Amino acid sequence: MKLPRALQLSPVWTPYVLLSPFVVLFCIFGLFPLAFSLYLAFQTWEPTSGLTAMSFVGLDNFVFSLQDEWFWKSLKNTAWLAVASGVPQHLVAIPLAVFIHNSFVRSRNAVVGAYFLPYITSTVAIAILFSSLFSTDFGLVNAGLRALFGGEPIDWLGRPENIKPAIAMIVFWRYVGFNVVLYLAALQTIPKDLYEAATMDGAGRLQQFFFITLPSLKPMIYFGVTLSVIGGLQLFEEPFILTGGRGGSDQSGMTTAIYLYRMAFDFNDFGAASAMSWLLFFVVVVLTWLTNRAFKPRGGSA
Amino acid sequence: MNAWGQAATQRRRMAPALMLFACVLIGLPVPAQTALTVAAFPSVDKIVEAAIPAWKKLHPDVDVKVVSRQFADHHTAMTTALSTSFYLPDVMALEVGYVGRFAQGGGLEDLSREPYAIRRYESQYVPYAFQQATSRTGTVVAAPTDIGPGTLLYRTDILARANVTEADLTRTWDSYVDAGIRIKAATGAYLLPHAREMKDILIRTGIKPGEGLYFDKDSRVIVNSPRFVRAFELARKVRQNKLDARVSAWSTEWSEGFKRGTLATQMSGAWLAGHLSNWVAPATKGAWRAAQLPEGAWAAFGGTFFAIARGAPAANKALAWEFIRFMTLDRERQLAAFKSQDAFPALRAAHDDPFVELPIEFLGGQRARLLWREAASHASAVDVHKQDAFASEVIDTELDKVLDHGKDIATALADAERLLAKRARR
């Protein structure tokens, strides 16, 4: 059946029409919020008065944010969590990937799948599961610790000094599998003859690891670390759910992302919240650039 | 055909497809008939639904559509609707905390003005509830429908085992805590769920005129004051004597505490007795009694209001106001909500009904509604400040540091004051 002429698409327009769902959705859910938050960062706004109630305040929101103790506190929390959950991810993922690469042949995919599973599980489900694991009186974590070491049960999510380690453990557990998959993919591209030559020259397994595997993995390390830096700085869901959306006792689980969310939706200050989100963006850019400087292969020698 | 003509033909060819796509994308709204939309949360939604038949008798041609969401979702949706002026309901139910918050902005109709002129009915409402909907500038942004006069619920069986009387509990706040020490020693039961509640009630008592909770009317921070020092000291005494179960309201551990009888008392609004009896701890029927709060304190816990958004469809505003009056000023409606949902009436005329004097089985036949009526007449509204939500977070944090890390109270309050001073005028 042929469509009526009026409904036929000319080949000139076809690509645009077929692209339009993405472009439209991106503009609505990607570009517009970005532009709007940049605009809001320079306004003061009582949201329930409607959109007309904004008034321009220049850099006030940025000045306020930079002087705000809680903003700095949240940045420190974020940095702590990013390091404590990010560094072990890679320190564990690289040897683990090498181990899986060398030791599993037929069951490799199943093993990798097991490590990857947390990554594709809903964060909400994970956080709820872990809040019951970390429960002071009935949680498995405390039960295990008591069986091993005895002593008093630890109030994981109630006391400020315990919240961060608890969150870092979850984030580590969640993303280590993702990194293993990255490194496994990179390991498969390292030519086997390099190892054969090294073996001929009498290099041990440890030497092969440090002088062949690790340098060959560098581009992937750069990629993985960049993702960890960006993800770590934007950490939101896990601490948000574990601390009931409040950031925990003494705000010790309050990452910058949680704080700026609360600034807007709990404390009604959309202007400062937008300013903080752009400051956070700036931090992400700087740290990504530093990561680039540290890891990126230079002079096309990759 | 030249290039221009070709482009024009293509545009014509494109137009129908694009329009179809646009319609699907936007989901064009269907124009409304004479129907009022009422946005509400449980159990206000049930109260409104139950009132529809009576409303239809008065207005057979006006349908009422109830849009119900969970408590937090509802208020988030209302905030979003107000800020964008999209999908605003004709009538919105609001919990008291949000009334104060929304009154800071200009999103709600000022009901004190014509054609509403709610002040004509002011004397018919419970005074503190009406006051809660009144802003500092005299605008009235909502009409109260139910209230939560506060009392102290306590377990008679636990008190009896500890040889503690109701008078011991309620004489002063210090005697309340001392009674708690005896209860803990004799029965092992906790006095209250969390030491924070001790602080929360004490910072709400003895507020001077012109003061809010954390800021005065000129936005000066008033947390470094005897009111807060005493609140912190008593909360610390509660924690030091291990009198609180360290559980938050509505948590599993909290309801377990009521079921297992490890919680001896709970300060709360009148509505808690209904929740305990219906689902939290029905098996404890007869063991509970209500008493006025210690030291002659009067407080309110929660309350529901109806409001009209300024950006709501103008054609329906008269009817919306009619509906609000029907829900809040009609004695029958208020009593129906009282009887079915334990929604204590904001309409004073409903307080004279014989129902108020009926014994409550769950409270061992106590005529507790008389207590709540008395509490309602004494409670007063507290001025709301823009930064109250942030201030309460800061104060809770400092209290945690005092309770968990032994931080000095004077230092804690000074720290809070410094942090709040930076926000006071934002």
**Per-residue pLDDT tens over the stretch A258-287:** 999 999 988 889 999 999 999 999 999 999
Q: Which residues of A201-212 are buried (b: 16+ CB within 10 A; e: fewer)?
A: eebeeeebeeeb
DSSP annotation of A156: T
Segment A186-192 shows an average pLDDT of: 93
Is the minimum CB–CB distance between B390 and chain A shorter than 8 Å? yes
Q: Return the pLDDT at B66.
A: 96
Q: Identify whether the C-beta of residue B245 lies closer than 8 Å to the C-beta of residue B253.
A: yes
Complex ipTM value: 0.82
Over residues A292-300, the mean pLDDT reads 72
Question: Which residues does chain A have within 8 Å of residue B387's beta carbon, measured at their own beta carbons?
Answer: 267
Put simply, the answer to whether A50 touches B400 (Cβ < 8 Å) is no
Q: What residues does each domain of chain A span?
A: 5-56, 61-295
Fold of A61-295: MetI-like fold (1.10.3720)
Confidence of residue A248 (pLDDT cuts 50, 70, 90): confident
Cβ-Cβ contacts under 8 Å between A and B: the total is: 89
Q: Return the pLDDT at B88.
A: 94
Per-residue pLDDT of chain B (426 residues; tens, 9 = 90+): 344 444 444 444 444 444 444 444 444 444 445 899 999 999 899 999 999 999 999 999 999 999 999 998 999 999 999 988 889 999 999 999 999 889 888 899 999 998 999 999 999 999 999 999 998 889 999 999 999 999 999 999 999 999 999 999 999 999 999 999 999 999 999 999 999 999 999 999 888 877 899 999 899 999 999 999 999 999 999 999 999 998 888 888 898 899 999 999 999 999 999 999 999 999 999 999 999 999 999 999 999 999 999 999 999 999 999 999 999 999 999 999 999 999 999 999 999 999 999 999 999 999 999 999 999 999 999 888 989 999 999 999 999 999 988 999 999 999 999 999 999 888
Q: What is the mean pLDDT of residues A70-75?
A: 96
Residue among B301, B298, B302 nearest B378 (CA):
B298
- Give me chain A's average pLDDT, please: 90
**Structure tokens, A228:** 């960890």
> Which amino acid is it at B226?
P
Residues in chain A with CB shorter than 8 Å from the CB of B105 are: 46-49, 53
Q: Which of B405, B412, B403 is nearest to B242 (CA)?
A: B403
CA atoms of A95 and B150, how far apart (whole Å):
61
Q: How far, CA to CA in Å, does A179 sit from each of A71, A88, A122, B111?
A: 30, 11, 18, 59
Of the listed ranges A11-20, A289-298, B379-388, the one predicted with least confidence: A289-298
List the domains of chain B with CATH numbers: 35-148+301-365 (3.40.190.10), 149-297+381-421 (3.40.190.10)
Q: How far apart are CA B145 and CA B344, in angstroms?
A: 8
User: Does A6 contact B401 at a Cβ distance shorter than 8 Å?
Assistant: no
- Identify the three-state secondary structure at position A55: strand
Predicted confidence at residue A142, as pLDDT, reads 87
Residues of chain A found within 8 Å of residue B390, distances taken between Cβ atoms: 266-267
| Partners of residue A157 in chain B, C-beta under 8 Å | none
For chain A, the residues whose C-beta falls within 8 A of a C-beta of chain B are: 5-10, 12-13, 17, 20, 24, 44, 46-51, 53, 64, 67-70, 158-160, 246, 249-251, 265-269, 272
Judge whether residue A82 has pLDDT over 60.
yes
Model pLDDT, residue A299: 53
